[in-house]
Structure 1
Amino acid sequence: MPELRMIDAGEVRLRAAVEGQGPLVIMVHGFPESWYSWRHQIGPVAAAGFTACAIDVRGYGGSDKPQPVEAYAMEHIIRDLVGVADALQPGEPVILVGHDWGAPIVWNSAFTRPDRFKAVAGLSVPFAGAPTRAFTDVFRELFTAKGIFFYQEYFQQPGKAEAELEADVRRFLRVFLHSISGEAPAGAWPLKPVDSLLLEGLPEPERFPPWLSEADLDFYVGEFTASGLRGPLNRYRNHENDYAFLRAWEGKTLDQPALFIGGTKDPASTLFGQVADPTAMMRQFAPNVEGHMLEGCGHWTQQERPEEVNRLLIDWLGRVR
C-alpha cells in the first residue's frame, strides 16, 4: 500500500500517496476524482523502479482547499506540481502523468516548465497547444448561444452546481461516472436545454461494472462528502485566467517525450467530436508524442482499462526515464 503523506508545495499542502524509489512520477487526477483514481497504477509504477506519487489536487480530499475562485487557476496548480517535485526530488527532472483535468494540468506544466518536467503523459484529454481564445468563448459559441446545455457553462456560477451535486453525493457520482464510461448506453449524455440541471436526463445505472466496486464508490463518496465540491468546480471557473496566463507560450511547442492514451467511447478524447485523430492533431503542438486509442474505453481510462494503461505507461516510462 502507498504511504499517505502531506507535502508542502509552497502555496498549499497537498496529500499524496507515495510508493517506491527511483525517478519521480507525479500522477494528477481529474474531476470528480482523487489520488485513489491511480490505485491500479501506483504499485506497478513503483515496482518498475520509480517513485510513484499520486496527489490530491488542491481543493480535493486531504489537500488544502483555498476559497477564492482564482486560487484554482492553472498557474497556481502548475506551481503546486513544481512544489511537489522540489519537495520529493529537488533538482531532478520529473515525469508527469495526468487524466481528465489532470491531463491539461500536466500538459501545461511540462509546456511552461520544461526545466522541471522531462516527460509527460496525458490520458483522455489531448494537448492542443496554447489556447487562441478562452474555452468559455468556445463552448458558448458551440452550445450556449444555441440554447444547448453544456456542463462547463453550468459549472460557471459559484454555488449553483454545488447545490445540486452535494445534495446527494452518492447519486451524483454513480450517475455522472456511469454516463461517460465505456458501459454507458448510446445517448447517455443527451442534448438538453441550456437551463437544465447536470443530472437531468442521465440514466441511473442498475449496477456498476467491475472497474468501480461499491468499496471504491464508498471511498469517493466519503472524500466528496467531507470536502465538498467548491474547490473541484472552481477549476472550471478559470478559463479566462488560464487563457491570459498561457498566451505567453503562443506559437511554442511541447518538445519533451509525450504519451497520449484515449478511449474510442470517450467524448473528451476527440475534444467533443471536434478532432478525428487526436494523436495527429497533437503532433502539431507536441512533435514527440506517441498515441493510443483504447477500443470501447470510456472516459475513466486508467480505472476502466488498468492492465492496458499500465502496459503502455510502464513501457513508455522505461524509455523516457
Structure 2
Amino acid sequence: MGAPTLETLTVNGIRMRVAMQGDGPLVLLCHGFPELWYAWRHQLDALAAAGFRAVAPDMRGYGGTDAPQSVEAYSRLHLVGDMVDLVRVLGERQAVIVGHDWGAMVAWAAALVRPDLFRSVIGMSVPFTPPDPTDFLKVLEDRGIRDYYMQYFQPPGVAEAELERDVSATFRRMLFCGSGDWQGLPAFGRLQPGQGFLGHMEEPDVLPAWLTEDDLDYYVQAFRRSGFRGGLNWYRTMRLSNELMAPWRGDIIRQPSLFMAGTRDSVLGFPVIPGLIAAFPRTLPGLRGCHLLNGVGHWVQQERPEEVSELMLDFLRAL
C-alpha cells in the first residue's frame, strides 16, 4: 500500500492534522500520551489494504493539531467532540473508533455518549472505566500517596521542563522503558524519591527491534516543535472530566467491543485495572474479545503490529 496522506482540517473549532489511508468503512484511530498519528503507522497500512478508510489524527494538543491555551479545553467531552465532528468533516455518518492509552479513554467515552455514531469500539492498554464519582487523584491522596506520576503531571510547567530538557533522551527512555523489553521498575507508577518522571528510566544501548531511529526521530522532531504541554493538559482535566461525565454514570457500552493490552504493560499494574477488566461482562455486554498479548508492554500496536492489526481486522470483518 502507499503511504498515508496528511491533511489539516478544521474540526470542532480547531485545526487538526489527520493521516488518512484507504477507502471503505471509516475506522478512527486515537493515539495516547505522548504520541502522534504515527503510532498507528502499521495499522493504517493494514486497514487500508483490507478495504477500510483508516484515519488517525494528531489529537488535540499534539503534533500538527492546535493546542489551545486553556487547560479546561482538554476535557473528555472536548476530546470526544473532536472525534464526533471529525466524522462529520470526513463526510461519514458512522465510524468504528479505536483508541490506545488516553486515546482509549476517548474511544470508550465516544462509544458511550454517541452509540448512534460509533457503531463499535476497540480499546488498547486502558480498559473501559464506567463514569462514577470516584476521584482517582483523591483516592491516591487518601492513601497517603503523593509520588504518583499523574500527580507529578498536575502542576503546569513542572513535567514540561523535565520532558523538554532533552526530547531525544525523553523518547528513548519512555518508549524503551514503557515496552516489554524493559526489565526495571514500572514506567508508569510511583516516582523515585527526589527524581522526576524519567528518573528511574534508562536509555537503551540499542533500540528494541520494533523501533527504528527514523521512528524515534519522527516523534523527537514533532515534540521539539510542540512541546509536551498539550498532552499533559489531558491529565490536568481528570477531575473536570469526571464531573462532566456525571450524566452517564451507571451507563454501559452495548455496541460490539474489543480490548487488548500487553501482559508487561505497567498500566495493568494500576490498582483499579483488574476490577475493571473483571467487570467487562456487565459493562461491555457486546465484548467480542479480551486479548492480553504475552511479553508486550505499553506500546502494544507498535511493539506487536501484525498481531494487533490481525485482531483488529478479525473484529472488524465480523461486524
TM-score normalised over the length of structure 1: 0.94
Who is 1:158 aligned against?
156
AA partner of residue 121 (structure 1): I
Give the CA deviation at 1:280.
3.0
CA distance in 2, matches of 1:186, 1:199: 12
CA distance in 2, matches of 1:274, 1:28: 23
Alignment of structure 1 residues 85-164 onto 2, 5 Å? 85-90=87-92, 92-142=93-143, 145-147=144-146, 149-164=147-162
Structure 1 gaps of 5+ residues are none
CA distance in 1, matches of 2:263, 2:313: 21
Structure 2 gaps of 5+ residues are none
Give the CA deviation at 1:140.
2.8
How big is each residue's C-alpha offset from its partner over 1:171-228, in whole Å with a ceiling of 9 and x where there is no partner?
Answer: 1111112112100014354854565311112223212111110010000000100111
CA distance in 2, matches of 1:252, 1:274: 18
Who is 1:38 aligned against?
40
Q: Which range is displaced more, 299-308 or 181-190?
A: 181-190
CA distance in 2, matches of 1:19, 1:151: 35
For this pair of structures, how many residues does the alignment match? Answer: 315
SS of corresponding position for 1:283: helix
1:47 aligns with 2:45: no
Please say if residues 128 and 282 of structure 1, whose CA atoms lie closer than 8 Å, have aligned partners that are also in contact. Answer: no
Alignment of structure 1 residues 172-187 onto 2, 5 Å? 172-187=170-185
Please say if residues 37 and 302 of structure 1, whose CA atoms lie closer than 8 Å, have aligned partners that are also in contact. Answer: yes
AA partner of residue 203 (structure 1): E
SS of corresponding position for 1:146: coil
Give the CA deviation at 1:13.
1.7
1:60 aligns with 2:58: no
SS of corresponding position for 2:142: helix
How big is each residue's C-alpha offset from its partner over 1:212-264, in whole Å with a ceiling of 9 and x where there is no partner?
Answer: 10010000000100111110100000011111111111111111110101111
SS of corresponding position for 1:209: coil
Please say if residues 140 and 153 of structure 1, whose CA atoms lie closer than 8 Å, have aligned partners that are also in contact. Answer: no
Relative distance call for 1:192 and 1:240 in structure 2 (3 A) is closer
Who is 1:240 aligned against?
239
TM-score normalised over the length of structure 2: 0.94
Please say if residues 263 and 296 of structure 1, whose CA atoms lie closer than 8 Å, have aligned partners that are also in contact. Answer: yes
Who is 1:16 aligned against?
18
Q: Which range is displaced more, 38-47 or 125-134?
A: 125-134
Please say if residues 191 and 197 of structure 2, whose CA atoms lie closer than 8 Å, have aligned partners that are also in contact. Answer: no
AA partner of residue 8 (structure 1): T
How big is each residue's C-alpha offset from its partner over 1:115-141, in whole Å with a ceiling of 9 and x where there is no partner?
Answer: 211100011110021133222223333
Who is 1:196 aligned against?
195
AA partner of residue 11 (structure 2): A
Q: Which range is displaced more, 213-222 or 122-131?
A: 122-131
Large movers: runs of 4+ above 6 Å? none
AA partner of residue 243 (structure 2): A
How big is each residue's C-alpha offset from its partner over 1:251-292, in whole Å with a ceiling of 9 and x where there is no partner?
Answer: 111111101011110122x35144447643322211111210
1:259 aligns with 2:258: yes
CA distance in 1, matches of 2:157, 2:300: 29
CA distance in 1, matches of 2:20, 2:191: 42
Please say if residues 260 and 279 of structure 1, whose CA atoms lie closer than 8 Å, have aligned partners that are also in contact. Answer: no
Identity fraction in percent = 43
CA distance in 1, matches of 2:250, 2:193: 34
Who is 1:282 aligned against?
280
AA partner of residue 302 (structure 1): Q
AA partner of residue 79 (structure 2): I
Give the CA deviation at 1:89.
2.9
Q: Which range is displaced more, 75-84 or 5-14?
A: 5-14
Please say if residues 178 and 208 of structure 1, whose CA atoms lie closer than 8 Å, have aligned partners that are also in contact. Answer: yes
Relative distance call for 1:29 and 1:18 in structure 2 (3 A) is same
Please say if residues 9 and 82 of structure 1, whose CA atoms lie closer than 8 Å, have aligned partners that are also in contact. Answer: no
- Residue from 84, 90, 107 that aligns with 1:82: 84
